Amino acid sequence: MKTRCTITGPAVDIDAFRATMIRTEEAKTFLDFQQIIPMPASASDVVEDSLSPNVLAIMARSSSIVNIWNHLRQHDTNGILGEWKGYVGFEDGEIEERLERLYPGCIERARKMALCIGETGYKSWYDWSIANWGTKWNSYDFEQVSEEPFQFTFDTAWDFPEPVFEALARRYPTLHFECVSFNEGWNFAATGFFNPPAGKAAWERCDATEELYELVYGEKFQRDPEDETESA
């Protein structure tokens, strides 16, 4: 999703925003969400998969362990897990040992997920990002459009980072952040201000229109001639 952001306010505060929020790493410049809402290390270290929650449930001795065990056995062509024998039917550490033999690395991944849940309430970086940034990745494809007013565009994955700009508005109360966004699937758009000046509208979602497309992309929307032919 592309956003065009224009920031107005005291020059010293705009400079402070730029020094903190606009970062360059590996020759790429971007609006860095980490500088305003940092992702905890315990979340950034966890990649959610379909296996880890099941392994974690077994390690936590979940009441649904029999169903989970039998589900994992469906993928156990070598019979490593064997039939569920109840906790007393396995020697100490045998359950985890069998899981590790079938899925190397699964115990460590499940432990990392447990740490992430305990510290953040989320299972992985993905869940944390959606909840705290409003989108699954940091921003990318930053491009400064003008110096005065300070205007730039950036992209995010499928949605606008609303929690990030709410936090920016709180940190920089003297700055007005005008954002116009357009979902690449034409599902929705958004326009308005965070910290709106007097008489200006607050940021809100709206329908995607060709006018908003032009505001965001800086060019008119070009219809595909084949689409027009089909609709005729």
Q: Do 71 and 100 belong together in one domain?
A: yes
Any idea what DSSP says for residue 196?
A: P
How many domains would you assign to the chain?
Answer: 2
Rounded (to 5) percent helix, strand, coil in the chain: 40, 20, 40
In a domain? residue 156: yes
CA dihedral 122, 125, 127, 132 (to 10 degrees): 90
In a domain? residue 131: no
Question: Considering 73, 88, 123, which residue would you say is the last residue of a domain?
Answer: 123
> What tens digit of pLDDT does each residue of 202-229 get?
999 999 999 999 999 988 888 766 655 5
Rounded to whole angstroms, the Cα distance separating 110 from 125 reads 14
Rounded to whole angstroms, the Cα distance separating 197 from 149 reads 15
Q: Do 74 and 20 belong together in one domain?
A: no
CA–centroid distance for 226 within its chain:
35
> What tens digit of pLDDT does each residue of 109-140 get?
999 989 999 999 998 899 999 999 999 999 99
In the predicted structure, residue 232 carries a pLDDT above the cut 70: no
Contacts of 170 (CB under 8 A, 6+ apart): none
Decide which of 223 and 193 is more confident.
Answer: 193
In a domain? residue 148: yes
Query: Across-strand partners of 71?
Result: none
Q: Do 213 and 149 belong together in one domain?
A: yes
Q: Do 216 and 164 belong together in one domain?
A: yes
Q: Do 162 and 201 belong together in one domain?
A: yes
Rounded to whole angstroms, the Cα distance separating 105 from 60 reads 17
Q: Do 33 and 108 belong together in one domain?
A: no
Average pLDDT estimate for 91-105: 87
What percent of the chain has pLDDT above 90?
A: 61
In a domain? residue 24: yes
pTM, entire model = 0.82
Q: Do 79 and 188 belong together in one domain?
A: no
Q: Do 151 and 185 belong together in one domain?
A: yes
Q: Which domain holds residue 186?
A: 2-39+136-231
Q: Do 158 and 223 belong together in one domain?
A: yes
